[in-house]
Amino acid sequence: MNELSKITAEHLRRCAIVYVRQSSTTQVEHNRESTARQYLLAERAARLGWRRDQVKVIDEDLGISGSGLSERTGFARMTAEVGLGQVGIVLGLEVSRLARNNADWYRLLDLCGLTHTLIGDGDGIYDRSCCYLHLFALGSKTR
């Protein structure tokens, strides 16, 4: 299955979120290529079918997420929008690095599955909801 076949009209009716993060100000200053590549994910969203006005870039956590002392308001906002079913896809350079810890990562994965939100990175697009649909179908057969 190619990545475009995973994107439905329902996904395209919702926004695309590009989550940009670096763990420290030092990384932001010295790893500018990584930051630039993250911002370019907005172009990828457009190539995948989202209108440019539908693409939200969340970068307010840039340079603070590694401290552990600051609230990541951008990640919290993204997670809330996913949970409300407003997001068709979340894009990051490496999806496993969207979150700072396992609890946040698994919460995001669960919400994406429940709201049929795709997750994408340089390696592909992932549809977590297929797992939930399969488990739901199995559960209904055992009743």
CATH of the domain at 32: 3.40.50.1390
In a domain, 22, yes or no: yes
Instruction: Reply yes or no on whether the pLDDT at 75 is more than 70.
Output: yes
* 67 part of the active site: no
Beta-strand relationship, 118-121 and 55-58: unpaired
* Per-residue confidence (pLDDT) for residue 8, from 0 to 100: 96
**pLDDT tens, residue by residue, 36-71:** 888 999 999 999 999 999 999 998 887 775 555 557
Contact 16, 50 (CB under 8 A): yes
> Which stretch of DSSP H or E encloses residue 36?
helix 32-39
In a domain, 49, yes or no: yes
Of 5, 23, 24, 70, the active-site residue reads 23
Q: Domain of 120?
A: 15-141
In a domain, 2, yes or no: no
In a domain, 128, yes or no: yes
Q: Which residues contact 58 (CB under 8 A, 6 or more apart)?
A: 17, 18, 19, 20, 74, 75, 77, 78
In a domain, 7, yes or no: no
**pLDDT tens, residue by residue, 92-127:** 988 877 777 788 888 999 999 999 999 998 888 999
Instruction: Reply yes or no on whether the pLDDT at 13 is more than 90.
Output: yes
Overall domain count for the chain: 1
In a domain, 90, yes or no: yes
